[in-house]
Amino acid sequence: MANIKSQIKRNNRSERERVENRQYTSQIKTYFRRLETAVTDGNDETVGTEHRKLISLIDKAVKRGALHANTGARKKARAERLRRGTPAE
């Protein structure tokens, strides 16, 4: 446990930021699973909706710093391949 007041505040801030970043990454995984389910079901309308939500969430996470820019680009490319019908590795 830290004794220095500024370090205690920094620890609290780090914990809060970690939780926020985890929320973004968890939501991205959830929407990716939803997109996969929609593709396997063959529902084109749902595929489009889930794909837009996923791309938007990835962009927000990158903007916020929860994801690295290259990681976000890779995930968007995989989502696009999945949406188009090509297997996403």
- Residue 4 to residue 23: CA distance in whole angstroms: 29
> Is 75:55 a contact under the CB 8 Å cutoff?
no
Q: What pLDDT score was predicted for residue 44?
A: 87
pLDDT band (50, 70, 90) for residue 1: confident
Helices (H), the chain: 5-41, 44-64, 69-84
Angle at which helices 44-64 and 5-41 cross, to 10° = 160
Q: Please give the structure tokens belonging to residue 78.
A: 């995989």
- Interval 44-55: pLDDT, tens: 889 999 999 999
Q: Radius of gyration over alpha carbons of the chain, in Å?
A: 17
| φ and ψ at residue 36, rounded to 5 degrees | -60, -40
Q: What pLDDT score was predicted for residue 39?
A: 93
Q: What pLDDT score was predicted for residue 87?
A: 58
- Interval 54-85: pLDDT, tens: 999 999 999 999 999 999 999 999 999 999 87
CA nearest neighbour of 22 among 67, 55, 54, 59: 67
pLDDT band (50, 70, 90) for residue 89: low
Domains, the chain, in order of start with CATH, read 5-84 (1.20.58.110)
